[in-house]
Structure 1
Amino acid sequence: MPRVIWNGAINFGLMHVPVALYQASLKIGIGFDWLDQRSMDPVGYKRVNKRTGTEIQSDDIVKGIKQDGGDHVVLSENQIKAAYPKSTQTIEIESFVKASGIPFTLLETPRHLEAIGNGNKAYALLRASMFEAGVIGIARVVMHTK
């Protein structure tokens, strides 16, 4: 059974349809461990100062962005959090375009929407209307920080 990755609603005009979002594909991969080939002991990760080679404690590490001249601009955790967009609970349909007008390469990760609660009839009407017109909805939503 697929797991819900986001709950919200589709908004379009006066329509408000509660929906759940599911991942429509599986990423299958293998998780490799780093091992010392001589003893098969696990290899850990150390945080090391690249210039001096000394190990650094987590409390002494800050985040920065390298500038063209080689200097770094250091950002606080609050500054980094403020830069992320705020999560929303609505999918705002902004326009409709012909499905053939969207290159397949722009579709990054397939997801599946499903109406929840009392939104089944309105969702089915929206889906059928879009299918009949041969269009897809262009929408804006922020899930988590993306």
Structure 2
Amino acid sequence: MQTIWKGAVSFGLVNVPVKMYTATHDNDIPLRMIHRKHNEPIHYSRTCPKCEQEVAWEDIVKGYEYEEGHYVTFDKEELDELASETSREIRILDFVDLAEIDPIYYQRTYYLSPEETGAHAYRLLVEALKSTKKIGIANVTIRQKSSLAAVRVVGDVLSLVTMFYAEEIRDRKEIPNLPEAEKVDRRELDMARMLIDQLTGSFEPEKYKDEYRERLMEAIEDKIEGKEVKVAPEVKVTNVLDLMDALQASLKQLQPSDHTDKSASSSAGGAKKPEKRRKPHSKRTGA
């Protein structure tokens, strides 16, 4: 696993030297843009519209358009200096309860591991956060971008979650077509609560699958083998006008069937197991 950042977690006068690693990875299947006629990948070039020539990376700077057609520009060294990334510090400002933070603020999660000289301080911070059930709210700069962040424990590992600042969260008043507050029908509310109770369980992330990815991998394998691509069956949406009918139908779907022929099941040696779907391969292997 590649280190993407080195620095220290600081709170008060305590410094915990750490290395940062990405905690997640993109599992999308890479699809390139192909010219339909020649079956060749499309390439892009960095071209200046004024001289109509390709521009080398060393000749590119970043700029802010303060008036139409007028820019102030910054080279990499100037941006690095402004970002203060040389401080390499995850500075904890406050400790708060996890439940206080709305998930809308979260961006991306990273793991933090201790440097060789910081193992003791690292373990101390982990145990302190676990025992107090708190998380740290910190400032950090990663790759020239300053972020708010949450430092918390995942298992026995320190993690850092970059967060949006308050001004980056859009005001809910901007959302169109929100219904006005009104009194909810008591019977509908009771039915909705029953439906939620029926569907309530423990969070088991491994049981949720990326069905689109599975279908795409199967389609890729079918195309490689020259087979006809199977299209996912269309989901029929029933237009239920009465909300109570929809709630009752949903609850009925979740109830076990009362018409199961138990004698037939026992004589057949138990219920028939559903056939396993062919598991798609993430990569095609040669013969």
On whether the aligned pair clears a TM of 0.5, the verdict is yes
Question: Post-superposition shift, 1:33?
Answer: 2.8
Is 1:78 the equivalent of 2:78? no
Query: Counterpart in 2 of 1:107?
Result: 106
TM-score w.r.t. the length of structure 2 is: 0.42
In the alignment, which residue of structure 2 is the partner of 1:133? 132
Per the normalisation by structure 1, the TM-score is 0.77
Deviation at 1:24, TM superposition (A): 0.6
Task: Name the CA distance, whole Å, in 2 between partners of 1:43 and 1:14.
Answer: 54
1:57 aligns with 2:56: no
Can you give the 5+ residue segments of structure 1 that lack an aligned partner in the other structure? none
Q: Counting helix residues as a fraction of each chain, which structure ranks higher?
A: 2
Instruction: Write the deviation string for residues 76-109 of structure 1: whole angstroms up to 9, x where unpaired.
Output: 3439944851213111111111111111221211
- Seen in structure 2, the aligned counterparts of structure 1 residues 64 and 99 have a Cα distance that, compared at 3 Å, is closer
Tell me how far 1:61 sits from its aligned partner: 8.3
SS state of the match for residue 126, structure 2?
Answer: helix
Distance 1:75 1:116, change over 3 A: same
CA distance in 1, matches of 2:17, 2:60: 43
Is the 8 Å Cα contact of residues 35 and 43 (structure 1) preserved in structure 2? yes
Query: Hey, what's the Cα distance between the residues in 2 that align with 1:103 and 1:142?
Result: 22
In the alignment, the residues of structure 1 paired with residue 66 and residue 44 of structure 2 have an alpha-carbon distance, to the nearest angstrom, of: 23
Within 2, Cα distance between the matches of 1:120 and 1:76? Answer: 43
Aligned residues: 138
Deviating more after overlay: 79-88 vs 32-41: 79-88
Runs of 4+ residues deviating >3 angstroms: 46-49, 58-64, 77-84
- Give the partner amino acid of 1:22: Y
Cα deviation for residue 55 of structure 1 reads 7.5
User: Is this contact kept in 2: 1:64–1:72, CA < 8 A?
Assistant: no
Name the aligned partner's letter for residue 78 of structure 1.
Answer: D
Matched residues, percent identical?
Answer: 26
Query: What is the CA distance between 1:126 and its match in structure 2?
Result: 1.4
C-alpha distance after superposition, 1:116-139 (max 9, x if no partner): 212112111112112211211111
Write the mapping of 1:1-146 to structure 2, written as runs, cut at 5 A: 2-45=1-44, 47=47, 49=49, 56-58=52-54, 63=63, 65=65, 67=67, 71-78=68-75, 81-82=78-79, 84-87=82-85, 88-146=87-145
What is the Cα-based RMSD across aligned positions, in Å?
2.9
Counterpart secondary structure, 2:127? helix
Deviations 1:2-51 (A, max 9, x none): 221111111122211111111111112233333221121333335474xx
* Structure 1 Cα separation of the partners of residues 83 and 60 of structure 2: 25
What amino acid maps onto 1:85 in structure 2?
A
Structure with the greater alpha carbon radius of gyration = 2
Conserved 8 A contact 2:32-2:41: yes
Between 1 and 2, higher relative CO (CA 8 Å, sep ≥ 6) is seen in 1
Using the alignment, how far apart are the partners of 1:82 and 1:40 within structure 2? 41
